[in-house]
Amino acid sequence: MEEMSLLVVEEVSKSFGGNRALDGVSFTLGEGEILGIVGPNGSGKTTLLNILSGIVRQDSGTVLFMGRPIDGLRPHLRAKMGIGRTFQITRIFSNLTVLENVMIPLHYGGPGSDRDRAEEILSMVGLIEMKDRRAGGLSLAQRKRLELARALALQPKVLLLDEVFAGLNPVSIREILDLLKTLHSETGVAIILVEHVLKALFQITRRVIVLSEGRIIYEGPPEGMAESREVVKAYLGERYEGP
Ligand SMILES: Nc1ncnc2c1ncn2[C@@H]1O[C@H](COP(=O)(O)OP(=O)(O)OP(=O)(O)O)[C@@H](O)[C@H]1O
Ligand SMILES: [Mg+2]
């Protein structure tokens, strides 16, 4: 029997007014797989994550999660089912403490010892020392860790990460990269990374999708990207020297 895909995206399209953000996008994600999604600004990457997490509803096409269509489901139900995400612009609550930020999604996830679990997650992402600080006082790298912690609270089967490395210095990129690798090997969580920092991305994934104007123009290993004329033209540019 063929192994069931965790996520199946079938012919998904979405327009905003006359602007086609996604145009017949199809792909699958296996259990525990790490997939990179790249492409120029405005190519539909965030829109795709918004559709997967239920923030935006597609015009046509279907998304299956663990074999079930999830198209009508609200974001919080998808989160409970195991679809966790972080945002390109972090969405933590600045006036709450670091610990409280992680306890909120836990609370919505059902009963249990929220505080112990939140502290456990903060230890995982390296923020336990900061737990009583106001989240608004965190550095960008720490805010990104806190967003990861919030996404991890509901024990996701897949993590959707929108530009986790953007704006970080090389040391912080390295640290978040190591954190993601550890999370992946310890929990088996599948990850979709939307990313512009290719050097970091290629250290964690063997498979990438390139979007251009809402369409998939390449799918395969990072090494193959530069061999596609269309990818070079639409995204990499002629000066690209390979992963
Ligand atoms: N809520 C919205 N309302 C109107 N247009 C939108 C909305 N969200 C996205 N778009 C448009 O859809 C297209 C795809 O945007 P999207 O944010 O998905 O791109 P992206 O690949 O994430 O870009 P970036 O790399 O800059 O983050 C763009 O033309 C954008 O202006
Ligand atoms: Mg985006």
How far is it, in rounded angstroms, from Cα 211 to Cα 158? Answer: 20
Q: Which residue has the higher pLDDT, 222 or 4?
A: 222
Residue nearest to ligand 1 atom 2, measured at CA = 16
Answer whether residue 103 is part of any domain. Answer: no
Q: Best substitution site from 13, 22, 25, 43 to test ligand 1's pocket, by max atoms within 8 Å of Cβ?
A: 43
Return the SS3 of 162: strand
The beta strands (E) that lie in the chain are given as 7-16, 19-29, 34-38, 60-65, 68-69, 83-85, 158-162, 190-194, 207-212, 215-220
Split at pLDDT 50, 70, 90, the class of 88 is confident
pLDDT over threshold 60, residue 231: yes
Answer whether residue 137 is part of any domain. Answer: no
- Cβ atoms of 11 and 201 within 8 Å: the answer is no
Q: For the beta carbon of residue 16, count every other beta carbon within 10 angstroms.
A: 10
pLDDT over threshold 70, residue 169: yes
How far is it, in rounded angstroms, from Cα 51 to Cα 214? Answer: 13
pLDDT of residue 89: 75
Answer whether residue 241 is part of any domain. Answer: no
Answer whether residue 110 is part of any domain. Answer: no
Sheet holding 83-85, edge to edge: 83-85, 158-162, 190-194, 34-38, 207-212, 215-220
Mean pLDDT computed over every residue of the chain: 92
pLDDT over threshold 80, residue 137: yes
Regarding pTM above 0.85, the answer is: yes
Q: Look up the CATH number of the domain holding residue 179.
A: 3.40.50.300
| CA 185 / ligand 1 centre spacing (Å) | 32
What are 163's two structure tokens?
């530009």
Q: Which ligand is nearest to the CA of 50?
A: 1
Answer whether residue 69 is part of any domain. Answer: yes
Nearest to 86 by CA among 110, 53, 109, 108: 53
How far is it, in rounded angstroms, from Cα 20 to Cα 44? Answer: 9
- Domain count along the chain: 1
pLDDT over threshold 90, residue 37: yes
Q: Which ligand is nearest to the CA of 212?
A: 1
Residue 186's domain comprises 7-96+158-236
| CA 110 / ligand 1 centre spacing (Å) | 33
- Cβ atoms of 161 and 85 within 8 Å: the answer is yes
Return the SS3 of 14: strand
| CA 162 / ligand 2 centre spacing (Å) | 7
pLDDT over threshold 90, residue 36: yes
| CA 161 / ligand 2 centre spacing (Å) | 10
Answer whether residue 55 is part of any domain. Answer: yes
Answer whether residue 178 is part of any domain. Answer: yes
What are 224's two structure tokens?
């193959």
Residue nearest to ligand 1 atom 5, measured at CA = 16
Return the SS3 of 112: coil
Return the SS3 of 233: helix
Tens-digit pLDDT profile for residues 90-110: 788 999 999 999 988 777 655
Tell me, what DSSP letter sits at residue 103? Answer: H
What are 185's two structure tokens?
């090997």
Answer whether residue 243 is part of any domain. Answer: no
Query: What atom of ligand 1 comes closest to residue 194's alpha carbon?
Result: 22
- Cβ atoms of 36 and 225 within 8 Å: the answer is no
Q: Residues within 5 Å of ion ligand 2 by Cβ? A: 45-46
Q: Best substitution site from 13, 23, 45 to test ligand 1's pocket, by max atoms within 8 Å of Cβ?
A: 45
Nearest to 132 by CA among 97, 104, 102: 97
